[in-house]
Each structure stands twice: as structure tokens, then as C-alpha cells.
């Protein structure tokens, strides 16, 4: 029993360390996007605006179209940098972070993106738990973007007196759940859920979308 407990503690520490490393990596990428890529796009936008005052009308129209693309790119980079930096996530809050992520995805490719909140909102016991749950949802949403061919995304935050039930779903093509259980994405989500004593369940069938359920006890 002592050996089992030691192994369990070791596995938890490994998962915690891996999660911290991932967070630091995401934070660094977020900074790079905001400080470097963001500044370059802002400079390009300024230069295009200056050029617009010195060219003919037909060229000016094309410059304005290009300038709009650059401005939209800058907006996307800033939104993405927010969703990668855990300090920003802590500052803007759990629900606003989810809303920011959903709005970003809606601009990308989805027809309908909804966040529904039920019950009386309660604070999570640890702010780090908010980050972990957000990262699980982010993994789910990322997979929906890359693989699902979905048009609609839906997230429900169901606040109950003793727990928070989160249900995230898409209407995509689904997949074989047995294959998914062997993939790194689901393993990563489950290991994160284990760190905060939450249970995680993923359901899917071919052509019937995907449903993720997180049960987080307060």
C-alpha cells in the first residue's frame, strides 16, 4: 500500500510538472505573439495608412482592403495571445476567458457559438483550477477546429451548490471513441482533470458530434 501511495504521489507530481511546463510554454508564446508579431502587424497597418494618402484612387481601394486584413490579423493575434497567457486569464476571469476564446473561434469558422450559464455563479476554490479547466476546454475546442468540420459549438456552465458541471459539444463528424482514448489529446485532458479531482467524460459517435463533460466538485 505504501508503494502504491508513493507511485500515485510520483505520478501526480509528474503530471503537475508537465502542466506547469506547458503553461510556461504557452505564456512565452503568448508574449511573443503580443510583443513581436503584434507590433509588426501594428507597424504594417500604420505604413499602409500612410501609403494610402500618396497613391491614386484605384490603388487606394486595394490598400484599404489590405489594411483591413492586417487589422483583422492583429485582432486575432491579440485575442490568441490573451488565451495563451495564464496571467491574463486570471485577470479577466474564468467566464470572460471562455467568451474570448469562443468569440475568436466564431470569427474563424463557426456559424454558431454559444455559452450558457445556469445556476448561481460560485468562485472556484483555487484560481489555478480555473486555468486547468480552461485549458481542457481549449483542447476540446482546438480539436473541433482541426478535425470535426463542425458548424456549431456550445458550452454550458451549470453551477450547483456542491459542484460545477461543464458540458462542451460540437455538431461535427465525430470519431471512434476507442481511438481517441489512445491519443495524447484525451490523455492530456484527463491528466489535467485528475490534478483538480474532477471527472472527465468524452462521448462521440461517427456523424453525431462530440460531447465533453467535466464534473468539478467545489
Buried b (16+ CB within 10 A) or exposed e, 40-53: ebeebbeebeeebe
Q: Are residues 159 and 209 in the same domain?
A: yes
Q: Are residues 128 and 214 in the same domain?
A: yes
Predicted local distance difference test score (pLDDT) of residue 20: 67
Predicted local distance difference test score (pLDDT) of residue 21: 63
Predicted local distance difference test score (pLDDT) of residue 57: 78
**Residue in the structure block whose three cell numbers are 463557426:** 110
Q: Rounded to whole angstroms, how far apart are CA atoms 106 and 36?
A: 25
Residue 90 lies in a domain: no
Predicted local distance difference test score (pLDDT) of residue 34: 67
- Supply the pTM of this predicted model: 0.72
Measured at the alpha carbon of residue 141, what is the angle toward residues 90 and 67, in degrees to the nearest 5? 80
- What's the CATH number where 157 sits? 3.30.565.10
Q: Are residues 200 and 136 in the same domain?
A: yes
8-state DSSP, 71: H
The domain tally of the chain equals 2
> Which residues make Cβ contacts (< 8 Å) with residue 104, sequence separation at least 6?
76, 79, 80, 83
Burial group, residue 171, by CB count within 10 angstroms (0-12, 13-18, 19+): buried
Q: Are residues 138 and 73 in the same domain?
A: no
Q: What is the mean pLDDT of each run of 10 residues along the chain (218 residues)?
A: 78 68 68 74 82 79 84 81 77 87 81 93 86 90 87 94 95 80 75 90 88 95
Measured at the alpha carbon of residue 23, what is the angle toward residues 185 and 138, in degrees to the nearest 5? 45
Cell of 63: 490598400
Amino acid at each position: 500500500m505504501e508503494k502504491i501511495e508513493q507511485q500515485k504521489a510520483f505520478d501526480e507530481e509528474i503530471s503537475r510538472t508537465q502542466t506547469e511546463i506547458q503553461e510556461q510554454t504557452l505564456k512565452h508564446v503568448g508574449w511573443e505573439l503580443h510583443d513581436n508579431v503584434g507590433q509588426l502587424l501594428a507597424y504594417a497597418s500604420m505604413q499602409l495608412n500612410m501609403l494610402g494618402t500618396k497613391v491614386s484612387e484605384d490603388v487606394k481601394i486595394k490598400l484599404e482592403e489590405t489594411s483591413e486584413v492586417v487589422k483583422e490579423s492583429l485582432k486575432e493575434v491579440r485575442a490568441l495571445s490573451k488565451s495563451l497567457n495564464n496571467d491574463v486569464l486570471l485577470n479577466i476571469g474564468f467566464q470572460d476567458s471562455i467568451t474570448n476564446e469562443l468569440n475568436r473561434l466564431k470569427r474563424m469558422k463557426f456559424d454558431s457559438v454559444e455559452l450558457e450559464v445556469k445556476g448561481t455563479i460560485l468562485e472556484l476554490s483555487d484560481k489555478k483550477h480555473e486555468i486547468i479547466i480552461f485549458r481542457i476546454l481549449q483542447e476540446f475546442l482546438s480539436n473541433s477546429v482541426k478535425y470535426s468540420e463542425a458548424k456549431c459549438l456550445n458550452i454550458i456552465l451549470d453551477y450547483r451548490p456542491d459542484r460545477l458541471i461543464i458540458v462542451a459539444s460540437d455538431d461535427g463528424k465525430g470519431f471512434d471513441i476507442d481511438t481517441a482514448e489512445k491519443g495524447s489529446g484525451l490523455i492530456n485532458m484527463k491528466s489535467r482533470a485528475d490534478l483538480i479531482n474532477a471527472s472527465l467524460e468524452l462521448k462521440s459517435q461517427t456523424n453525431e458530434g462530440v460531447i465533453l463533460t467535466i464534473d468539478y466538485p467545489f
